[in-house]
Amino acid sequence: RNSVKKMNLLSIVIFCFLLIIAINTLLNFLNWNKTKIQISNDEQLTILIPARNEESNIKRCIESIDISNDLIKEIIVLDDNSEDRTWLILEEISKINKKLTIKRGLKKPDGWSGKSYACYQLSKFPSTNWILFIDADTELKKKAPEKLLSYSIDNNVSMLSAWPQIEMKSISEKLLMPLLNFIVFTTFPAIYAKKSNMPSLGLAHGACILFNKKIYEDISGHELVKDSLFEDTDLAKKWRSNNQVSACINGLNIIKVRMYTSFKDIWLGFEKNSYPAFKNDIYFFSFQIFNFLFFSFPVILMPLHLLKIYENNLLFFSGLLILFLRILLSIKFKHPIWSSFFHVLAETVFLLISLSSFIKYNFLSGIKWKSRKYGK
């Protein structure tokens, strides 16, 4: 009888919490709008691209940039000690692209993550007041620089990230990648974060971040997150801690990225961030328990309810609510809706990735990413 009471209490807690989550998600759905050009200005910006082993992406990335656009003064790519044909491809492109400058990166010092050090080096070269970092596996969309710069100037934002359209082609991508947006946009209060500059509400996607260069230099830029593997959002939080304004906006009409191309890439990519994203073991395991209890457990029990093996109406409706939110965000971000019905499978895979990240980072030789290892 006590166990029944405890389960009933748990089901009430889960259902009530998911109602709050649903309201937040609905507000994000309705207000997370595409960015428009708001003002004209005479500023220019420099596009900065860190590239390590990007032979399959770098040409497409640079070709997506409209070099006839006077807003773009220069494009600087730093080859971060690539072990493939990245440098040779860049040399060929630079022969026909007059705005492109290519630099060889220095060897990464101890205590730095690879991307943070590459971005730190890149920041030394531009001559413009604004610098736009994009990843080598991204593609800019039409008028992207105008949308970013006008939003920053009009809203007095000195660090602006555009959450990209995530391109998915393989089955594993379509099955797993939508979970990223689900977790972020069910739990992140985007409207409140826009009105409040609390450090804990800092959010960024490293695929696309625009900075005011003077402020970036004044507060040390990527040096603030030199050892972070979760450098984008960590930098947004540090930015706000330094009394500067950061924002993350809808980038569906600004930039797209195919983050990973296979199941192996997805595993390694998320393994790199899953444990280091948390500051200590308590936060890490608290999140794993929270995520399972509220976002997986109700869906797991749905078939048992339908088969009358274990009936609990609140948990059943909680499961339905989770699937509804998955579908809602699939519509918003143009994900395949069918992947919503494999929610538990995706959650299980990411739980295994997280545990692997924890074990490798703490007890084995470290987390490997782009032929570099990180760990304690």
Whole-angstrom Cα distance, residue 274 to residue 153?
Answer: 34
Q: Show the tokens assigned to 140.
A: 């800019």
User: Does 368 have pLDDT greater than 90?
Assistant: no
- What is the predicted pLDDT for the residue at 373? 85
pLDDT tens digits for range 176-203: 999 999 999 999 999 999 999 999 999 9
| C-alpha distances out from residue 259 to 7, 65, 352, Å | 40, 18, 19
Q: How far apart are the first and last CA of the chain?
A: 47
DSSP letter at 221 equals G
- What is the predicted pLDDT for the residue at 85? 97
Whole-angstrom Cα distance, residue 303 to residue 146?
Answer: 50
Reported confidence tier of residue 1, pLDDT bands at 50, 70, 90: low
What type of residue is 208?
C
Residues 6+ apart with CB under 8 A from 66: 72, 140, 142
What's the distance, CA 333 to chain centroid?
A: 14
- What is the predicted pLDDT for the residue at 262? 93
Reported confidence tier of residue 371, pLDDT bands at 50, 70, 90: confident
DSSP letter at 11 equals H
DSSP letter at 127 equals -
Q: 3-state DSSP call for residue 164?
A: strand
pLDDT tens digits for range 130-165: 999 999 999 999 999 999 999 999 999 999 999 999
Report whether 356 contacts 366 (CB < 8 A). Answer: no
Mean pLDDT of all residues belonging to the chain? 94
What's the distance, CA 8 to chain centroid?
A: 36
Percentage of the chain surpassing pLDDT 90?
88
User: Does 6 have pLDDT greater than 90?
Assistant: no
DSSP letter at 131 equals E
Report whether 294 contacts 183 (CB < 8 A). Answer: no
Average pLDDT over residues 350-365: 93
Average pLDDT over residues 61-89: 96
Q: Show the tokens assigned to 346.
A: 């995706």
CA atoms within 13 A on the CB side of 93: 24
- What is the predicted pLDDT for the residue at 7? 85
Phi, psi of 78 (to 5 degrees): -110, 120
| C-alpha distances out from residue 112 to 233, 347, 374, Å | 16, 31, 10
DSSP letter at 35 equals P
User: Does 56 have pLDDT greater than 80?
Assistant: yes
**pTM for the model:** 0.94
pLDDT tens digits for range 281-307: 999 999 999 999 999 999 999 999 999
What type of residue is 341?
F
